[in-house]
Chain A
């Protein structure tokens, strides 16, 4: 949600190491980061802060997957994602999921080795490599985009009923 950007960041963990010189905060053990509707969980979270006060977080998980969750503007639906490593940029509101990445938004679902989710636009970029560049020899990307429900039938007949247009897709999958 756009409003998340201005909200304070709260973090809970078993342990925190703060290096004042490098301006790095490392949280370990059942880490939960919350900022407005955004929530990131993992075994380890490294938080840095840029000159303008925006935070960047990198969450990883030892055994399982780190997870993130954020409500989308307008629809109120939550986007849920999981991956071996999740990077979150508070300035751009973008979340980057690396390795065994999986994002579910409403009934839409995407899987790949890299997913970039834009909290502003609700758009994803999914690739089969570990970066935003697709890898021709790599595995496949899978996306399940549910058709959006047509406008309610109660709408007056004068307006042409929507034909079997391709379902609105959020995901310009590559």
Chain B
């Protein structure tokens, strides 16, 4: 059977069409999308009962980052922690923050805590300050934090609430914004 041009034309046309659309799809693919494939990629490292210590410039422990489990996700350049605890210690300051989960970026500069975030700040001679919210971003190296969810702070019977919070020296100086309500009982010594 002789294959005439007339018979072969549809096949050639389809081939050109397929090649063209394949080239078009490749050409229009955004930079991000190339990563998508690897985001589904699972963890490359899993650590159970993680305990990390970060030292300051003088060689003294500055903060501890512990977790029941750590999963490093290379595709997203961060690690997902389960039951994390950020424990900041410096001079007399002792600040302990816990939550259900947290994401830590590979550079370790920032810890995004989420789910039932609870904090306790103690300084000798001062009543303990308690913190509660649904989220908290902590920058342990520079000792600052921010929450974009409603926050409740309590200390010695006094309470303060706000829609969001920023804090330096992790609650040394704290700013609550939006629908702020403070309750201060009279405490006679």
Chain A residues proximal to chain B, CB less than 8 Å: 5-21, 25, 27, 47, 49, 51-55, 90
Is A10's CB under 8 angstroms from B181's CB? yes
Q: Which residues of B contact A53 (CB under 8 A)?
A: 186-189
* Given known contacts A18-B160, A20-B171, A11 and B186 CB-to-CB distance under 8 angstroms: no
**Chain A residue at minimum C-beta to C-beta distance from B177:** A15
Contact across chains for A8 and B185 when beta carbons are under 8 A apart = yes
B176, chain A: closest CB distance, angstroms: 5
Question: Which of under 10, 10 to 19, 20 to 34, or 35 or more describes the interface residues of B?
Answer: 20 to 34
Give A22's nearest chain B residue, CB to CB: B173
What string of 1s and 0s marks CB contacts (under 8 Å) between B98-126 and chain A? 00000000000000000000000000001
**Alpha-carbon separation in the docked complex, A68 to B175 (Å):** 26
A6, A8, A27, A47: the one contacting B180 at CB < 8 Å is: A27
Q: Which residue of B lies closest to A53 (CB)?
A: B187
Query: Quick check: is B182 within 8 A (CB to CB) of the other chain?
Result: yes
Contact of A14 among B173, B180, B188 (CB under 8 A): B180
Q: Which of the residues B172, B176, B183 comes within 8 Å of A20, measured between beta carbons?
A: B172
Whether A11 contacts B181 by the Cβ 8 Å rule is yes
Nearest-neighbour CB distance to chain B for A144, whole angstroms, equals 35
Find chain B residues with CB under 8 A from A19 CB.
172-173
**Contact status B174-A17, CB under 8 Å:** yes
Given known pairs A13-B180, A16-B180, A20-B129, the reply for A7 and B186 (CB within 8 Å) is yes
Partner of B184, one of A9, A12, A51: A9
Give A21 Cβ to nearest chain B Cβ, in Å. 6
Instruction: For A25, give the chain B residue with the smallest CB separation.
Output: B182
CB-based contact A8/B184 at 8 Å: yes
Could you tell me the distance in whole angstroms from the C-beta of A36 to the nearest C-beta in chain B?
10
Q: Which chain A residues border B177 with CB–CB below 8 Å?
A: 14-15
